[in-house]
Amino acid sequence: MSTTSNPYTDGLVIEPLVARTIVLLADEGIPVRAIARATKISSEDIRDALHTALDQGQLVQMPRDDWPSGAVRDRRIPDALSVQPVETERMIFNIVRLFKVTKLQAALFSVLIKRNEVTKDTLHQVAEQRRLPNKEETDPKIVDVVICNLRKKLKPFDLKIKTAWACGYYMEPPDRARANALLKSYMESLSAPVGEDALEPVEYDTDG
């Protein structure tokens, strides 16, 4: 079987489809060693490939090394949805201030800038996690409404959210990289602590 060099694994020779799969799995929060076990590629080679993907803007952050010891298979949660709550809220709080968006819009945006592509179901889960206990479960269509309004708010920054038909939404790598750079620069310039209001559940705005 022939192999070719690819942009995700500079210095390695690997099948293009496998290389693409490695980056997508990492982008979904699957641990390095779990990817290695699934692909039969050494953890060291997986790390090298992912570090190259990071350098090229195809990946925002490295996934954890492995699942927690003793974790039951059906309770394993990818990194993207299990970030430390305070750090997640800190990011959302600053997204609200920088891009002038609602907390719900910021919550969905914080996931979009971390992944290559996000399904509507995942975005709806994010919205549901922020629903107040006394509020009824939201309709999945709320995702489309929130994204529509978020797109308008991002226009001044020339950041675009694209539709992956019959799947979800995504941002092109250059847009994700620029959004993360803008956010990082803003947070570093302020070095502001999270306000108490940022840690409270969000009330749903009627316009998303």
Query: Using one digit for the tens of pLDDT, what is the confidence trace for 110-167?
Result: 989 988 888 898 898 888 877 777 778 889 899 999 999 999 999 999 999 999 988 8
pLDDT band at 3 (very low <50, low <70, confident <90, very high): very low
Q: Tell me, what amino acid is at 120? A: K
Write b or e for each residue in 62-86: b if 16 or more Cβ atoms lie within 10 A of its Cβ, otherwise e: ebeeebeeeeeeeeeebbbeebeee
Top-level CATH class of 83-199?
Answer: mainly alpha
The domains of the chain are located at 16-75, 83-199
Top-level CATH class of 16-75?
Answer: mainly alpha
Tell me whether the CATH fold assigned to 16-75 matches the one assigned to 83-199.
yes
Q: At what angle do helices 120-129 and 103-112 cross, to 10 degrees?
A: 140
Instruction: State pTM to two decimals.
Output: 0.56
